């Protein structure tokens, strides 16, 4: 969390895909709204200070790249040296508010996850165990809006965090 986020009360703002680092982004972005109109999913909206942010309650990101193509300032940019680079390092996180943890069967997030990064494994007694596959998660946000208790969110992660999660899965297996 940076200083700005701390002072704002840690409300997460998701920038459009392929946004450069936050300080440079706010320096370069001229708030022209071109990325808003380029987004066919209509999930880019005005955030604090008029800067674009993603609202996953409106839908998911398809990573079409139209917002990047419309950005004239360089605040959004695909790296020409890393053609397969991820648009962002966001991964799904499910809090203990999840109905599945309270014994209520709900698979709304998993049903919406086309990548199958969120799965529910049947357990003895009719319960289901939530299983997250961080390698499969693209951070598209399709799982967020359908959650009836807002237990699903995306969190920014690093490569080292992903390695730690994979190690934990190996230990638990």
pLDDT digits (tens, 9 = 90+) for 101-117: 888 889 999 999 999 99
CB 68, CB 15: distance < 8 Å: no
pLDDT in tens, 18-43: 999 999 999 999 999 999 999 999 99
Mean pLDDT, to the nearest integer, of 111-128? 89
Whole-angstrom distance, CA of residue 109 vs CA of residue 165: 20
Percent pLDDT > 70 in the chain is 82
**128 bridge partner residues:** 122
Q: Give the CA angle between residues 52, 53, 58 to the nearest 5°.
A: 125
The answer to whether the CB of 34 falls within 8 A of the CB of 74 is: no
User: Rounded to two decimals, what is the model's pTM?
Assistant: 0.81
Here the tokens at position 121 are 């494994």
Contact indicator for 99, 149 with CB cutoff of 8 Å = yes
Closest C-alpha among 117, 92, 108, 105 to residue 147: 108
Q: How far apart are CA 79 and CA 70, in angstroms?
A: 15
Residue 128: which pLDDT band, with cuts at 50, 70 and 90? confident
């Amino acid at each position: 969390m940076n200083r700005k986020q701390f002072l704002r009360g840690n409300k997460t703002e998701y920038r459009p895909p392929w946004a450069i680092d936050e300080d440079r982004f706010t320096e370069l972005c001229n708030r022209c709204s071109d990325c808003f109109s380029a987004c066919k999913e209509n999930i880019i909206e005005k955030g604090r200070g008029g800067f674009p942010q993603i609202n996953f309650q409106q839908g998911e990101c398809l990573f079409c790249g139209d917002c990047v193509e419309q950005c004239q300032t360089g605040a959004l940019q695909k790296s020409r040296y890393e053609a397969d680079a991820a648009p962002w390092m966001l991964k799904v996180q499910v809090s203990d508010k999840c109905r599945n943890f309270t014994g209520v069967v709900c698979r709304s997030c998993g049903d919406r996850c086309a990548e199958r990064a969120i799965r529910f494994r049947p357990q003895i007694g009719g319960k289901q165990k939530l299983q997250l596959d961080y390698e499969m998660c693209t951070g598209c946000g399709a799982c967020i809006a359908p959650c009836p208790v807002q237990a699903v969110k995306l969190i920014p992660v690093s490569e080292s965090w992903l390695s730690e999660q994979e190690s934990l899965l190996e230990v638990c297996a």
